[in-house]
Every structure is written in structure tokens, then in C-alpha cells.
Structure 1
Amino acid sequence: METGRNAGDEATKPDPAQDLGGIEGLIEEHILAKLDPEFLAHFANNQPRVAGQPPKAAVQPPIEHVRQHPEAYQPPCALDTSGYPGVADANYLSRDGATIPVRVYSPDEARHGPGPYPVHLNFHGGGFVLGNLDTEATLCLSMRGAGVSVVDVDYRLCPETTWGKCIYDAWNALKWVRESATALNINPDSISIGGISAGGHICLVLQHMARDAGIPLKLCMASVTPATRGLAYTYYTESPFPSFHEFHRGPVLPWARIKYFGRLCMPQEALPDLQSLWPNWWFEPLKAPNWSNLSDTFIRTDEVDPLRDEGEAYAMKLVAGGNKATIKRYLGCPHTFMYTDSMKRKHEYDRDAIVALRAAHSLD
């Protein structure tokens, strides 16, 4: 397993005597000692200055306010790329007839030729509650630099839509891309999928569905894959994964945040009905019934993330099933660090994606 360690990493750990901008009281000491100094600087510049006030991630706004002010809840990397050169909006129909928007990022023809191009489907993060076509736009712009078209999928969110329909939105996106190959100028035989957090979970389920349907994938590239079953926990101690316990008061995805998403996706009173609608393993991909003949997979996790161990356990099950899986853990990084442009690790993450996509699609 790669660990994302660079020469001098130990020297860049926070100095206990360093001025951390008054955030020491907002992050527990054992977590503070592990975090990348560049993340700490970003965190210090984006937190309330009132002593004892909890981190922003621990403050859970009413969903009505989130929907009325979506710009206030976008990550630092969010960007409206509509109208950018080589970027086009489209839509397709999901299983129940719902119209799902997508944004297509085509490679620079001067650099990568006229196509048809390999294609990568991206499913954004956001706890199945947040996110849109702006959320990971800068990441999509970066990935198309690999010489692949990137299709960013605006799957439906909870609570307005029942959890699980996002999976069918993703599945129908995959089928639509294959059926629209000529119009999209893509090669339907060279498809990869990927996602961050909730989007990572979606693409893991999609990986199994594609195998079952005989649709070959070049790569499944999932990052900080979420403990979706954890959305239904009563308390964090129900998780069998040590990282879920160690970082339950972390600065980006604390237990309070996970429970917030859980109440909107899988409220306790609705769980029996939800579990009757979808296969059990959709809620927990680690319980998928068949681990043979799955696509190559690149699992990326963060050292300081409650979801770290579950993502790595998924990769280990892939290997045990005879599949090829690469794991990389980014040291010092919290959940969704790749949304923070001021971190060197974020740019390392971008480069890793390009290298993985070029290799998977035989572009080197």
C-alpha cells in the first residue's frame, strides 16, 4: 500500500509550540498532531474566531437553508464551468423517467487529437445530500488533462429523492454514455468511473453492476469511500472500523456531520422501507455477494478520516477475490482534502488521477 509520503514529511508535522491561529481548542490533540500543516493553515483561516465555538463542519444547518443558499455550502474547489471551452451540458433519463443533468469535459484537441476519446464518469461527494455540477468542476478540468472526456453526473440528492435512486441515476448514466458514444465523441469500449465520498460509494456499487451486466470498465477510481451503513448507526461506536472511532471528532467529517447526512438519507423510521427497496449490499458494498472478475480499482484514502479503514478493507476484499487493486493513503490529510487548493497533497492527488487514467486507458 502506498502512503503518499514525501521526503521530509515528519519534519512538516505541526510543532506543538507553533501558533495555530487559536484552533487548538477546536481539534483534539491526538488528531491535531497528525494533520498536515497546510490543512491546519486553511482550517485556521476558515473557522469562527469565538473561543470554544465548534468547527463549521460540526454545525448542521436546516436543509431548507442549504437549498436556498447552495453557494454557501460549496467546497473551495467549486466552479461554474458552463460555457468554458470544451465543456458542454447535456442530460439523460434515469430509470423512473427523471431528467438527470451532466456536464461533459472534452480534452484539448490540439494536445490529444480529434478523438474519439476514452471517457471517465465522475460522481461528486456530499453525503448524498450536497453537491451539483459545480462542486468538483476543477477536478474534472484537471482529469480531462489525461486525454479523456470526463462526464460529471448530477445524480439526485436526499432528502428530496429516496436514497438508492442515486445508484440508478449512475447506472443509467453509464448506459447513456455507451449509447451516445458518437454524439459524445468517445470510445464506448474505454470507460472508467470514479467518485469521492458518497460518489465513491456509488461507483463501487456500479463496479459490481457493470460486471454483472457484462460491461467492461477500464478502472474504478474511488476516494475516501463512505461507510454508508454508518449513516444508519445510532452512535459511532457501532462501527467495526478503528478509524471511525479515532476520528469521530475530526475537523471535516465529525460524527455529528455523518449523523446529519444519515437523518436526511436514512432516518431510523424509514430504514425498513428503504431496506426492502434495494439489495442489502448497496448499503454496504463490503457485503457484495460476488468479488470475482471486477475491474481494476484505485482506492485512495486519507490518514485522518473516519472512513479510511472501510475504504482500505474494500480494496483488500478485491485482492482476496483475485482482482487488481491499488491503495494509496494520503498522510496528514482529512476527509475531502482534495477540495483544498492550498495543499500540496491536493495537487499530488490530481497528478495521481491523471497518471491512473492514462495508464488504465492505455494513453502512455
Structure 2
Amino acid sequence: MKLLLVLFSLIAIALAFGTHVYLQSKEFDGVEISTIGASLVIKTMIKTVGARVKLVESLMPKLNQTSDSLRIETIPITFDTSSSEVYLKEVGEPVAKYALRVYQPKQNRDGGYPIVMYIHGGGWMFGNIDISNRLCEGLANKGFIVVSIDYRRTPEHIFPSCLNDNLNALSWIGRNYEKYNGNINQLIISGDSAGGHLAITTQIRLFSIQKKLLERESIPSVTHQALLYPVADFYRYGDEKYESYMKYRDNGLIIDGAVMDMFWRNFIGNNTEEQVKSNPLISPVSGLILSDKVLYSQFPKGFIWLAEYDVLKDEGKSFANAVNNASPNKLKVKEWKSCVHGFIDLKRNYDEMADAIYEVLGKINKQS
């Protein structure tokens, strides 16, 4: 009898899951059934398991880090956040630890390779350099030095820990690029989702630092940016600020309003909503004056890719519009139709991303 009850329960769950996936397939035209199913599983895990998903991550086998065409090196980093005015003050011990991974084409090139500093997504909470391994290998195989940042994550490490790690990573790049045959005059900062947010806020922090201090810390200039569906603005579940957020707040694929609320709570720590909304290092769009052309003109050339079915789409557009209002056509915007948040890993269109970076670089140094 118990076995029958278990069997019926499993059948009921399967039917409910299948019905939900079918109904969402009607709403999200063009999205594959497998993507919708994966989205439901991912959101359920995040909402029900929360921080314990990290335990699952820790048990996953490390991805193969060998390649016939690349040198791949993972480097542990320790630095003192109180050692420089570059870093924002953190709560607790000033000694910080993170890691970065360098992907280098084995064949040297005169003049060096363009450098991509890549910052993974995951709501500042999940993800790591292993998860972004395929993307970074894909870019490196197209002729880039890729430095992937395994920054400290929430909830153990709240803002500004991850920002400080990325500032330190830039300093590391400035001190070590020659060793890896990199061209420091072609430095692209890139990231997806929360990583895109950190790519934006890292640049904003650099804008406020005096040139002498940047030179003393060997922090190079970011020459280009490549942003993938970034988090760009802070707001709460009930806010009606963006059309895409209101449309996908309750049924968004991969992430929705409730997931974003959880990510933000873990990220901002004890900061109040007012403090967050006025701080451009946390919330770029609300923390900066969108009409401030002088500030937004400091952002470099680049591109931003957005997904049609994404709660974050319109805040990404808002950021891009502010940049382009200050400097027309500086940031190329592409909305990927019938795509959801996280599509770069679902579609694995790494070659297209590499081509887009070469385009903003002026199509120089492109490998066949």
C-alpha cells in the first residue's frame, strides 16, 4: 500500500511538472522545452536549498583543466584589504583570499593577445571559475588571454568583498600581463549577470580613484567592456520600475523576482534600501544620475547582450541608454530573441561572443 502511495505521489509530481513546463512553453515562444524544465529545477533548488546549493557545488568534480592549445593556470591570491585606499573597508579581518585562473594560448604572438578579465555570474552567491571554464576556454581558443576571477561570495562575504577582489585582480593583471603575453592596451572587462554588475561597478570605482594611486597599484585602464545580461539596478519585489521585471517577476525563467530579492538581501548586508539605492557601487542606475554625460562618457566602448525573456532586460537597457546618451553608439546593444537569462551557457555561443569582442576592438588580432 505504501509503495502504491509513493508511486502515485511520484506520478502526480511528474504530471504537475510536465503541465507547468507545457504552460510555460506556450508563454515563452521559441524557448526549448529542455531549457524551461532546467529553469524550473534551478529556481526550485535556489529557493528551497538556498546557500546549501554551495554544498552541491563543492561536491561536483572539477572540470578538466588541460588543453592541447592552451596553458591553464589556477592561482590562489591573498591580499590585505587595508593595504591601499583602492579597496573599500570590509567588516572583519582585512586579509582576503580568492583565486583566479589564466587561460593562455600556447603560441606566442608579437604584440601580445587582447586580455579579457571575466567575472562569473550566480547572484554573487553561486558559481565559480569551474562553471565558467568552457566559456573562458572558448574565448582563449579564439585568441585572448582570459583571466577568470573566483571572487568571494555571499552570504559569507557581503559587499564590498567581491568588488575588492576584482579591483585586486586588475592590479594582478597590471603586474603580470607580460608574463602571459598579454596586450595591456586591449583590456576588456566582461561578466554575466552578477558578474556583469561587478564589471560595471569595478569601473565606477576606478573613475573615483586618482591616477597616481592607480599607477602605484599597477591598475591598468579598462579599454573595452563586454556585458552579458547584467544586474544594473536595485529594487524590491513589489517595485514597478521596469516592464520586463513586472512581466517576468513571478514566472521568469532561470531567475525571477523572488530569486533576485534573495540575492540582493545576501549581497547588501546591513545596508538600508536608501543607502543601497544611492550607492553607485551597489546600484549603478539608481546611484548615478542618468543624465550625467560627463560620468557616463568615462565608460569604454563595448557591447551589452540582453535576453528577450529576462527580468533584468530593461535595467540593462537603462544602463546602456545612459552610456549611449553620453557617447552615441559607444555601447552596442543586442537583444537575443527567444532567449532566457543565462543563455551564453545554454547556447554556448562563445565564438559569437569572441567575434563581438573583436568587432569592438576594431577587428584587429583576430585568429582564424
* TM-score of the alignment, normalized to the shorter chain, above 0.5: yes
Question: Following the alignment from structure 2 to structure 1, what is the Cα–Cα distance between the partners of residues 16 and 136?
Answer: 33
1:334 to 2:320 alignment: no
Question: Following the alignment from structure 2 to structure 1, what is the Cα–Cα distance between the partners of residues 338 and 171?
Answer: 38
| TM-score for the superposition, normalised by structure 2 | 0.77
CA-based RMSD: 2.9
Shift of 1:133: 1.2
Q: Please, which of 92, 101, 104 is the counterpart of residue 77 of structure 2?
A: 92
- The aligned counterpart of 1:260 is 262
Question: Following the alignment from structure 2 to structure 1, what is the Cα–Cα distance between the partners of residues 96 and 163?
Answer: 13
Aligned partner of residue 116 in structure 2, secondary structure: strand
Q: Please, which of 205, 214, 229 is the counterpart of residue 224 of structure 1?
A: 229
Question: Following the alignment from structure 1 to structure 2, what is the Cα–Cα distance between the partners of residues 273 and 24?
Answer: 38
Shift of 1:239: 4.0
- The aligned counterpart of 1:285 is 284
Runs of 4+ residues over 4 Å off in structure 1? 26-29, 211-215
Superposed CA deviations along residues 202-240 of structure 1, whole A, max 9, x for unmatched, are: 00112233444554323111111115513xx2xx23140
- The aligned counterpart of 2:202 is 206
For 2:128, the aligned partner's letter is N
Shift of 1:71: 5.5
- Indicate if the aligned counterparts of 2:204 and 2:281 stay in contact, CA closer than 8 A: no
Shift of 1:67: 2.8
Shift of 1:115: 6.1
Superposed CA deviations along residues 284-311 of structure 1, whole A, max 9, x for unmatched, are: 1113352123201211100000000000
Q: Which has the larger radius of gyration?
A: 2
Shift of 1:27: 6.9
Cα distance 1:165–1:331, how it changes in 2: closer, same or farther (>3 A)? Answer: same
1:40 to 2:33 alignment: yes
For 2:54, the aligned partner's letter is R
Cα distance 1:239–1:135, how it changes in 2: closer, same or farther (>3 A)? Answer: farther
Question: Following the alignment from structure 2 to structure 1, what is the Cα–Cα distance between the partners of residues 142 and 365?
Answer: 8
- Indicate if the aligned counterparts of 2:109 and 2:181 stay in contact, CA closer than 8 A: no
Cα distance 1:164–1:148, how it changes in 2: closer, same or farther (>3 A)? Answer: same
Structure 2 unpaired stretches of 5+: 1-14, 82-93, 212-219, 290-294
- Indicate if the aligned counterparts of 2:307 and 2:340 stay in contact, CA closer than 8 A: yes
Equivalences for residues 160-239 of structure 1 within 5 A: 160-213=156-209, 215-230=220-235, 233=236, 236-239=237-240
Structure 1 unpaired stretches of 5+: 1-19, 48-53
For 2:241, the aligned partner's letter is P
Cα distance 1:239–1:206, how it changes in 2: closer, same or farther (>3 A)? Answer: farther
- The aligned counterpart of 1:8 is none
Cα distance 1:169–1:273, how it changes in 2: closer, same or farther (>3 A)? Answer: farther
Q: Which has the higher contact order (CA 8 A, sep 6+)?
A: 1
- The aligned counterpart of 2:214 is none
- Indicate if the aligned counterparts of 2:252 and 2:309 stay in contact, CA closer than 8 A: yes
For 1:100, the aligned partner's letter is Y
Shift of 1:22: 6.2
Size of the alignment, in residue pairs? 317
Cα distance 1:220–1:152, how it changes in 2: closer, same or farther (>3 A)? Answer: same
Superposed CA deviations along residues 227-256 of structure 1, whole A, max 9, x for unmatched, are: 5513xx2xx231401100101111211222
- The aligned counterpart of 1:51 is none
For 2:288, the aligned partner's letter is A
Equivalences for residues 69-148 of structure 1 within 5 A: 69-70=56-57, 80-84=63-67, 85-94=70-79, 95=81, 96-109=94-107, 113=109, 116-148=112-144
Question: Following the alignment from structure 1 to structure 2, what is the Cα–Cα distance between the partners of residues 274 and 177?
Answer: 35
